[in-house]
Amino acid sequence: MDFSAVLVAAGSGSRAGGGLPKAWRPLAGRPLARWSAEALAQAGAREIAVVVAADMMETARAALTGLPGCRFVLGGATRALSVQAGLSALTATPDELVLVHDAARPFLNGSHIARLLEACAEADGAILALPMADTIKQPLESRLLTPSREGLWRAQTPQAFRRGALSAAYAAWPEGEEPTDDAQVASRHGLSVALAAGDPMLMKLTYPEDFDMAERLAGAARITRTGMGYDAHRWGPGEAVWLCGVRIDHDQTLIGHSDADAGLHAITDAILGAIGDGDIGEHFPPSDPQWRGAPSDRFLAHAAERVRARGGRILNVDVTLICERPKIRPHRDAMRARIAEILDLPPERVSVKATTTEGMGFTGRQEGLAAQAVANVEAPA
């Protein structure tokens, strides 16, 4: 089902502390808003209007770099005005569903979105909500009243409505009143709103202690994946060879469709394997003439971007070059530095090793060179 989204990230979040507005504070190494933007993009959002305060626009663009479909919109003085600005910026038709989500709820995932979209089939819109479990207290002078929690629900975001209907509901909202959420605006306008099962993980981060808890939860919500890569190329006439992004003068070169850098090819396959995203040949087919002679750092950078687009990060890579010559040790530090630069990693997270096969096999007979690599990637569970 086609849908677009408005990601509300224009608030100051002053109660959360930490200096930066909370939408742009880091959570487990990623800006808070990026968690939700990635979830919406991965679930298939056609476009995402990210509503941002004027002084945070450049920060927002940098924080969400590489995510498809994002357009950045200047927010208003209130949440309601920010939502309306986001709705106006979308190219969605009036009948297209729009999910309105608060960036302060970072643990959004595809199952939440699927439940919300399904619930919209039975009503004009839908919200994620949880039944009230805690006892409610209302202070009255020196006493505490205990209202019934029967039939009470805790509303969460995203909340989903047809774009045209929600825009009309906001246009009809009385001036001078501030709604607490989009469902309140829709209900007052006569729209039916269904309840979809919420999730305690979709908590809103408001206070410093909320961020402390979220850091612990973020670690539990991510796993480490390992991928392996292997590549080999035969030797041919030449005067230099590319290995792990470094040009080495040599009396032969490696033959291949690109620059035949077996080291970078093996690392690329290891990273793609860690995220289950095919192999280098699927992304850069040898049959495609545009990759003839291409530098292999483009392939490795592409694999790294695929990891980031899935909300992951590369932890470390380890590559072993298998050859009788050239000697690798004199070039090892330069290789580590170049790989680290491409992957935006500290050099200490990159390992380059070399070995021979004691004269055995095609590498031992110096018919070719081989490389094998391992990559560890941290990604959402």
Query: How confident is the model over 242-252, as pLDDT tens digits?
Result: 999 999 999 99
Place of tokens 């200096």: 19
Kindly state the percentage of the chain with pLDDT values over 90: 79
Distance, in Å, from the CA atom of 157 to the CA atom of 116, rounded to the nearest integer, reads: 10
Judge whether 3-220 and 223-380 match in fold: no
C-alpha to C-alpha distance for 68 and 345, rounded to whole angstroms: 23
Q: How buried is residue 214: exposed, middle or buried, by Cβ count under 10 Å (0-12/13-18/19+)?
A: buried
State pTM to two decimals. Answer: 0.63
Q: Which CATH superfamily is domain 223-380 in?
A: 2-C-methyl-D-erythritol 2,4-cyclodiphosphate synthase (3.30.1330.50)
Average pLDDT taken over every residue of the chain: 93
Q: Is CATH 3.90.550.10 correct for 3-220?
A: yes
Q: What is the mean pLDDT of residues 71-95?
A: 96
Q: Do 316 and 351 form a contact (C-beta atoms < 8 A)?
A: yes
pLDDT confidence band for 16 (50 / 70 / 90) = very low
For position 216, what pLDDT does the model report? 83
First to last CA, the chain: 24
3-state SS assignment for residue 260 = coil
CA angle 167, 164, 191 (to 5 degrees): 80
Strand ranges (DSSP E) for 146-239?
Answer: 153-162, 193-197, 222-237
Domain boundaries of the chain, sorted by first residue: 3-220, 223-380
